[in-house]
Amino acid sequence: MEKREERNVEEMDMRQDIDPAADGAGTGGAGASAPSEKLKWWTEARFGMFIHFGLYATPARGEWVQSRTPIAPEDYETYFEQFDPDLYDPAEWAKAARAAGMKYVVLTAKHHEGFCLWDTKFTDYKVTNTPYGKDLLKPFVDAFRAEGLRVGLYYSLLDWHHPDFAIDTAHPLHPKDDADWNDPKAYVPLNANRDMAKYRQYMKDQVRELLTDFGRIDIMWFDFSYPKSIVPKGRDDWDSEGLLKMARSIQPWLIVDDRLDLDDKPWGWDFRTPEQFRMPVWPTVGGKRVPWETCQTFSGAWGYSRDEHTWKSAAQLLELLANTVSKGGNLILNVGPTARGEFDARAKDRLAAIGRWMRVNGRSIHGCTAAPEGFEAPEYSLLTYNPRMRRLYVHLVFYPMGALACSFADKIKWARFLHDGSEIEIKPLNHNLIDRYPEVPKHNFILPVAKPDVEMPVIEVQL
């Protein structure tokens, strides 16, 4: 059992092995570093909310619980019979997202378990047939739009409930025996009566429905392909090309992630998706910087996980946000609502802390990107830049005592703390130091010794 769990994790990680630069052709249709018109709102937004909500909120051990345990479909039915998020109030979710400074949201319309949050015509495995009995999706899109956020949908390519979805290593009905689990031949009899062509049609029907019945959808987040697995699935299994063409024919402005196994097609994806990874550099394809979004959890799992104790602090999350934007990327931060349909206290707490910071510092995130060439981040800081305003933002990840060396003082018109607008003076080093330590930058930002009462202070620099 334990071995299997490990494998499933590997299976997930495997996605990261797919070389993003495969043959250098993909530019995300985004014109490399210059975002296309379509991506403009998205790159300016910089910060979004992911929401993983489904039957898995009840076992409360993450959204992979069915595969990892594993739980046979007939036993998993219990969670379908129990699904009743009576406190679900998407207006509350949307308010929390907006207050945190998030500009878009992506909700799991269907995750790997196959359960659908809307009243789809193509399966009975949907919210309207649970004790809750109502569509969740329409109120959701309305509530988030009302708060001014753009709305995206996550659609799982995997489906552990659909009878025609071929069993693979992650499927809860995978072979029980370890040797068989590793042997592609062991899957052949298991899949004798499963017809992926029917499943492909099912996906098309559902995606068409999602893109037809809920107004404008800004993002489709397809998840995921594993062409290198022992029992692989990729573009042919999903008909990725057909699926994507159909989606775009309905809503041409759609922004699409990169998990359809179409890395080598320039039209096959719009942005890269390094998952749970703090990017140290701006990712490139064929030597060109590409649009990217890192998806991250507060704790570890995406679906509600009651007993997880690995929650990131507000300070870590803010650093992650500033780091992402300093490398030209977006951050989509995930909430896994509880089985009652609420954000739990730990998520609310982090969101509120982020919101307090964003209220005064959001200007260093929205509309920002990496600093232009030639600007070196002062020690322990992260730089972002708003090209339209020509302003540079120095995020003081660690708050230094008194003075902070600055190597671009000659380019600065004015500097101030962003949170209170108070002037930050820039002073030359004294002569003694200049003479004796010629390698030291010749100017300092002069900071108050006591750290201001803000999580990660930001210096706003007018160039």
CB of 5 to ligand GLC, least distance (A): 14
What's the rounded Cα separation, in Å, for the pair 293 and 134? Answer: 32
Query: Closest Cα to residue 414, out of 459, 372, 461?
Result: 461
Residue located via tokens 């007939």: 74
CB of 165 to ligand GLC, least distance (A): 15
- Closer residue to ligand GLC (CB): 300 or 402: 300
Contact between 12 and ligand GLC per CB under 6 A? yes
Contact between 18 and ligand GLC per CB under 6 A? no
- Closer residue to ligand GLC (CB): 84 or 275: 275
User: Could you report how far apart the first and last alpha carbons of the chain are, in Å?
Assistant: 59
Binding flags for ligand GLC, 50-89, as an x/- string (CB under 6 A): --x----------xx-------------------------
Q: For residue 292, give the DSSP letter.
A: B
CB of 273 to ligand GLC, least distance (A): 7
Contact between 293 and ligand GLC per CB under 6 A? no
What's the rounded Cα separation, in Å, for the pair 48 and 54? Answer: 20
- Closer residue to ligand GLC (CB): 226 or 357: 226
Contact between 302 and ligand GLC per CB under 6 A? yes
- Closer residue to ligand GLC (CB): 57 or 382: 57
- Asked if 72 and 173 count as a contact pair (C-beta separation under 8 A), the reply is yes
Binding flags for ligand GLC, 211-250, as an x/- string (CB under 6 A): ------------xx--------------------------
Relative orientation angle of helices 345-361 and 90-99, to the nearest 10 degrees: 40
- Closer residue to ligand GLC (CB): 302 or 357: 302
What's the rounded Cα separation, in Å, for the pair 144 and 93? Answer: 8
Relative orientation angle of helices 137-146 and 90-99, to the nearest 10 degrees: 40
Choice from 57, 285, 295, 456 touching ligand GLC (CB under 6 A)? 295
Contact between 308 and ligand GLC per CB under 6 A? no
# chain residues binding ligand GLC, by CB under 6 A = 9
Relative orientation angle of helices 314-326 and 345-361, to the nearest 10 degrees: 50
- Closer residue to ligand GLC (CB): 224 or 357: 224
- Closer residue to ligand GLC (CB): 52 or 126: 52
- Closer residue to ligand GLC (CB): 206 or 444: 206
Structure tokens at 196: 């992926």
- Asked if 415 and 392 count as a contact pair (C-beta separation under 8 A), the reply is no
DSSP output for 342-389: S--HHHHHHHHHHHHHHHHHGGGTTT-BPPPTT-PPPTTEEEEEETTT
> In the complex, which residues of this chain contact ligand GLC (CB under 6 A)?
12, 52, 63-64, 223-224, 275, 295, 302
